[in-house]
């Protein structure tokens, strides 16, 4: 297996080399979004305006944004920045990236015929899967890291009313990386049994949205069902309020990544490539 | 078992009882063939005959419903042996799906790295195909279809494989490109490479291959040396007689075994015949002014097999 690591890296690097423009687009988009969110804080009226808006948010929407009722009174710039990591723009960018990568990695390669060039070489199928997974996970990591960098740049360059510690946002970025990784690996499972990119992308997006909604509905947002939902383990407001990233959440997200990767490898190894 | 060449050493390709079923549809039906090392086999069949499915089974992309395939002595269904086989294999797929964002040279390097063999022949394959070095540095999406196909061919040949499997490799090539490819394949054959050349273009197979396998509806209907196949099949005969009596000549010709398509205009008789000896005996007894006997072209052979679904001598 160790002998095959160079092959895995060759596939990961080759994929990254061909798709770096889209990765840069997603990552710079996420970075700019977080930066602009902070720099527009004074323009929208600062803490008073944000608090007044938060008070008007109905309980159901507060649940959607993971704003706990007891945070409402003390909702400040730190919570506002954390909300940027739960904003649909950021989540949409990260999710779209992993869905696109996962759908193209296996189903897309079969659909276009490129897979026949790679798998006619003396490499095992899992090498291809792991190479593609690595590229996706690396890309998701870069998006999360640049999001934090956008936040940090905004905090450094803007005259904010408080000194903002950046460590919690780094932990949020790590949490986001694990979340996107878990979502992407879930779509990889679908990609491993299909040969239609659009079909996998559509189904993957639908499943991600359904999982997001399931984490809001009372019936499915509590353990044990919620333990299997990656969204349940992503909670930026909680990280800001405690300053800690739950090791359980990270362990479950990493467990999701490993399990989904193993399922993908198993399914892809035994399927017909046509 | 269909066999070409004297298979005393390990066959380059050995297919045993191979079938592939999709639901109720049998795409490949009990295929058996053996190809000795160093032979060039043309794998012929109309669209939908099962050529690409057979190749994908050979490459391990598909799993057989039943049967076994050995390439270069390695069982492609056993993962470790499949790796050993693919290490010595060159494959030119029909749809290469080259990534439009990739650059040709880098793609060839990546594939050579995955092959774990040096691309020793790239230096002469690229010029032979008149592949412009500048084109290899451009994104593949910016290249013409023919140039993309040349890159597809280079990736299959660049590491000097012992067995070369090509699926419709001339698609998109101009006549010069086709000739260049054939010269490369002949050079590879002369070095001892076994070539499995799938095509539906009969003239290409006729030009390149010494053996042909004919596939119809997933079944192997014939596998022979091309010359043997011609000998077995009908010859086109044009017979000019000096003083013909149509009714007499017709009845005497009709008595020949394996004679078909008999018709005449004045003193010229046209027909096709499978066995020559009875014809030659009959001609000796007729007032013949001129006779032309032509072997069947591969196109004739192809049509004879596929029109009726049976070999001519079975008719």
Residue B110 shares a structural domain with residue B256: no
Distance from A257 to chain B by nearest Cα, in Å? 26
Tokens at A83, concatenated: 């909300």
Give the ipTM: 0.84
Read off the pLDDT of each residue in A147-161 and give the average, rounded to a whole number: 86
Q: Is residue B301 part of a domain?
A: no
Tokens at A82, concatenated: 């954390």
Tokens at B164, concatenated: 């070369």
Distance from A130 to chain B by nearest Cα, in Å? 14
Q: Is residue B305 part of a domain?
A: no
Read off the pLDDT of each residue in B95-105 and give the average, rounded to a whole number: 84
Interface test with A, best of B110, B119, B140 (most A CBs within 10 A): B110
Do B101 and A19 count as a contact with CB atoms less than 8 A apart? Answer: yes
Residue B280 shares a structural domain with residue B160: no
**B130: closest CA among B92, B181, B63?**
B181
Band of the pLDDT at B73, cuts 50, 70, 90? very high
> With contacts defined as CB-CB under 8 Å, which chain B residues touch A15?
none
Residue B249 shares a structural domain with residue B131: no
A73 touches chain B (CB under 8 A): no
Mean of pLDDT over chain B: 88
User: In this structure, are residues B44 and B205 in contact, taking their beta carbons and an 8 Å threshold?
Assistant: yes
**B204: closest CA among B33, B44, B37?**
B44
> With contacts defined as CB-CB under 8 Å, which chain A residues touch B113?
6-7, 10
Residue B172 shares a structural domain with residue B255: no
Range with the poorest average pLDDT among A131-135, A175-179, B242-246: B242-246
Rounded to 5 degrees, what are φ and ψ at A126? -65, -25
Cα A187-A189-A195 angle, rounded to 5 deg: 90
Q: Does residue A269 carry a pLDDT above 90? A: yes
Mean of pLDDT over chain A: 90
Tell me which of A86 and A264 has the higher pLDDT.
A264
**A245: closest CA among A165, A167, A142, A139?**
A167
Residue B62 shares a structural domain with residue B115: yes
pLDDT at residue B145, as a whole number: 92
Do B97 and A123 count as a contact with CB atoms less than 8 A apart? Answer: no
Neighbours of B136 (CB within 10 A): 21
- A12-20: long-range contacts at Cβ-Cβ below 8 A with a sequence spacing of 24 or more? A12/A131, A12/A132, A12/A134, A12/A135, A12/A138, A14/B102, A14/B106, A14/B107, A14/B110, A15/A105, A15/A131, A15/A132, A15/A135, A16/A135, A16/A138, A16/A139, A17/B106, A18/B99, A18/B101, A18/B102, A19/A101, A19/A135, A19/A139, A19/B101
Distance from A30 to chain B by nearest Cα, in Å? 24
B177-230: pLDDT as tens digits: 999 999 999 999 999 999 999 988 878 888 889 899 989 888 998 888 887 777
A162 touches chain B (CB under 8 A): no
Read off the pLDDT of each residue in B144-150 and give the average, rounded to a whole number: 93
B281-294: pLDDT as tens digits: 888 888 889 999 88
Q: Is residue B315 part of a domain?
A: no
Taking the C-alpha atoms of residue B107 and residue B97, their distance in angstroms, rounded to an integer, is 12
pLDDT at residue B229, as a whole number: 73
Query: What residues have CB less than 8 Å from B140, skipping those under 6 apart?
Result: B98, B99, B100, B101, B102, B103, B104, B107, B148, B151
Residue B129 shares a structural domain with residue B249: no
Rounded to 5 degrees, what are φ and ψ at B216? -140, 125
Residue B44 shares a structural domain with residue B147: yes
Range with the poorest average pLDDT among A55-69, A123-137, A226-240, B149-163: A55-69
Tokens at B254, concatenated: 């009709």
Element holding B251 (H helix, E strand): helix B246-254
Residue B243 shares a structural domain with residue B207: no
The residue segments making up the domain with residue B133 are: 2-225
Q: Does residue A49 carry a pLDDT above 90? A: no
Domain final residue pick, B176, B201, B225: B225
> With contacts defined as CB-CB under 8 Å, which chain A residues touch B110?
10, 14
Q: Is residue B307 part of a domain?
A: no
Do A115 and B114 count as a contact with CB atoms less than 8 A apart? Answer: no
Residue B133 shares a structural domain with residue B260: no
Q: Does residue B81 carry a pLDDT above 90? A: yes
Distance from B20 to chain A by nearest Cα, in Å? 11
Distance from A208 to chain B by nearest Cα, in Å? 28
Tokens at A76, concatenated: 């400040």
Residues of chain B with pLDDT > 90, as a percent, come to 56
Read off the pLDDT of each residue in A213-230 and give the average, rounded to a whole number: 87
> Radius of gyration over alpha carbons of chain B, in Å?
23
List strand residue ranges (DSSP E) for chain B, in order: 2-4, 13-22, 25-35, 40-44, 66-71, 74-75, 89-92, 163-167, 194-199, 211-216, 219-225, 235-241, 259-265, 268-273, 288-294
Interface test with B, best of A120, A195, A274 (most B CBs within 10 A): A120
Chain A, nearest residue to B103 by Cα: A18
pLDDT at residue B313, as a whole number: 45
Identify the CATH number of the domain in which residue B260 sits.
3.30.70.920
Taking the C-alpha atoms of residue B71 and residue B91, their distance in angstroms, rounded to an integer, is 13
Taking the C-alpha atoms of residue A162 and residue B32, their distance in angstroms, rounded to an integer, is 79
How many domains, in total, are found in chain B?
A: 2
Distance from B268 to chain A by nearest Cα, in Å? 54
Do A273 and B93 count as a contact with CB atoms less than 8 A apart? Answer: no
> Which of A19, A21, A114 has its CB closest to that of B98?
A114
> With contacts defined as CB-CB under 8 Å, which chain A residues touch B104?
none
Chain B, nearest residue to A12 by Cα: B110
B235-274: pLDDT as tens digits: 888 999 887 677 788 888 888 887 888 888 888 889 888 8
B87 touches chain A (CB under 8 A): yes
Instruction: Tell me how far apart the terminal alpha carbons of chain B are, to the nearest angstrom.
Output: 22
Band of the pLDDT at A73, cuts 50, 70, 90? low
Do A118 and B114 count as a contact with CB atoms less than 8 A apart? Answer: yes
Residue B167 shares a structural domain with residue B147: yes
pLDDT at residue B307, as a whole number: 67
Q: Is residue B290 part of a domain?
A: yes
Interface test with B, best of A4, A19, A122 (most B CBs within 10 A): A122
Length of chain A: 274
A118 touches chain B (CB under 8 A): yes
pLDDT at residue B310, as a whole number: 52
Interface test with B, best of A4, A116, A130, A265 (most B CBs within 10 A): A116
pLDDT at residue B308, as a whole number: 60
> With contacts defined as CB-CB under 8 Å, which chain B residues touch A116?
59, 61, 91, 93, 95-97
pLDDT at residue B315, as a whole number: 37
Tokens at A121, concatenated: 């070489």
Read off the pLDDT of each residue in B292-298 and give the average, rounded to a whole number: 78
Domain ranges of chain A: 2-44+85-270
pLDDT at residue B6, as a whole number: 57
pLDDT at residue A268, as a whole number: 97
Q: Reading across the β-sheet that carries B74-75, which strands appear in turn?
A: B2-4, B25-35, B13-22, B66-71, B74-75
Q: Is residue B259 part of a domain?
A: yes
Domain final residue pick, B176, B203, B225: B225
> Which of B59, B60, B97 has its CB closest to that of A112?
B97
Taking the C-alpha atoms of residue A9 and residue B208, their distance in angstroms, rounded to an integer, is 39
Q: Does residue A132 carry a pLDDT above 90? A: yes
Band of the pLDDT at A220, cuts 50, 70, 90? confident
Residue B157 shares a structural domain with residue B29: yes
Residue B128 shares a structural domain with residue B215: yes
Read off the pLDDT of each residue in A187-207 and give the average, rounded to a whole number: 97
């Amino acid at each position: 297996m160790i002998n095959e690591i160079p092959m895995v890296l060759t596939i990961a690097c080759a994929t990254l080399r061909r798709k770096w423009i889209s990765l840069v687009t997603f990552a710079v988009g996420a970075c700019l979004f977080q930066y602009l969110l902070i720099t527009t804080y004074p323009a929208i009226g600062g803490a008073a305006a944000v608090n007044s808006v938060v008070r008007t948010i109905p309980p159901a929407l507060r649940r959607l944004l993971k704003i706990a009722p007891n945070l409402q009174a003390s909702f400040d710039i730190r919570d506002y920045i954390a909300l940027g990591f739960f904003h649909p723009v950021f989540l949409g960018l990260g999710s779209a990236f992993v869905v696109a990568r996962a759908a193209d990695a296996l189903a897309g390669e079969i659909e276009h015929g490129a897979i026949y060039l790679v798998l006619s070489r003396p490499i095992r199928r899992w090498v291809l899967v792991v190479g593609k997974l690595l590229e996706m996970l690396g890309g998701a990591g870069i998006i999360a890291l640049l999001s934090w960098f956008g936040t940090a740049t905004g905090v450094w360059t803007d005259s904010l009313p408080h000194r903002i510690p950046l460590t919690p946002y780094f932990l949020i970025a790590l949490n986001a990386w694990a979340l996107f990784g878990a979502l992407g690996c879930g779509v990889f499972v679908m990609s491993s049994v299909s040969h239609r990119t659009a079909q996998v992308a559509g189904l993957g997006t639908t499943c991600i949205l359904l999982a997001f909604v399931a984490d809001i509905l009372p019936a499915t947002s509590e353990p044990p069902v919620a333990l299997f939902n990656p969204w349940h383990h992503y909670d930026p407001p909680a990280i800001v309020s405690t300053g800690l990233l739950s090791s359980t959440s990270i362990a479950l997200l990493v467990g999701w990544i490993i399990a989904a990767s193993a399922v993908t490898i198993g399914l892809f190894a035994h399927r017909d490539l046509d | 078992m269909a066999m070409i060449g004297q298979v005393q050493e390990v066959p380059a390709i050995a297919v045993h009882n191979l079938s592939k079923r999709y639901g109720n549809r049998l795409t490949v039906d009990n295929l058996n063939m053996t190809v000795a090392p160093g032979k060039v086999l043309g794998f012929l069949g109309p669209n939908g005959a099962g050529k690409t499915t057979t190749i994908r089974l050979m490459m391990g992309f598909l799993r057989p419903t039943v049967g076994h395939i050995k390439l270069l002595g390695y069982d492609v269904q056993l993962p470790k042996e499949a790796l050993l086989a693919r290490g010595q294999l060159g494959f030119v797929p029909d749809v290469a799906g080259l990534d439009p964002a990739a650059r040709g040279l880098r793609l060839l390097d990546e594939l050579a790295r995955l092959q774990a063999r040096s691309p020793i022949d790239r230096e002469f394959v690229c010029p032979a195909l008149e592949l412009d070095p500048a084109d290899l540095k451009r994104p593949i999406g910016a290249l013409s279809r023919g140039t993309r196909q040349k890159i597809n061919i280079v990736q299959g040949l660049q590491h000097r494989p012992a067995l070369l499997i090509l699926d419709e490799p001339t698609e998109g090539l101009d006549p010069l490109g086709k000739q260049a490819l054939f010269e490369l394949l002949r050079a590879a054959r002369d070095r001892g490479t076994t070539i499995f050349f799938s095509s539906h273009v009969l003239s290409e197979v006729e030009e390149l291959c010494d053996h042909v396998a004919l596939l119809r509806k997933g079944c192997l209907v014939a596998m022979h040396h091309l010359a043997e196949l011609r000998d077995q099949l009908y010859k086109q005969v044009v017979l000019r007689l000096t003083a013909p009596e149509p009714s007499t000549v017709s009845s005497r010709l009709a008595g020949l075994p394996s004679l078909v398509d008999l018709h005449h205009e004045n003193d010229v008789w046209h027909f096709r015949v499978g066995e020559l000896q009875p014809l030659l005996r009959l001609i000796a007894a007729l007032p013949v002014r001129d006779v032309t006997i032509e072997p069947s072209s591969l196109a004739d052979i192809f049509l004879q097999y596929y029109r009726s679904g049976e070999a001519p001598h079975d008719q």
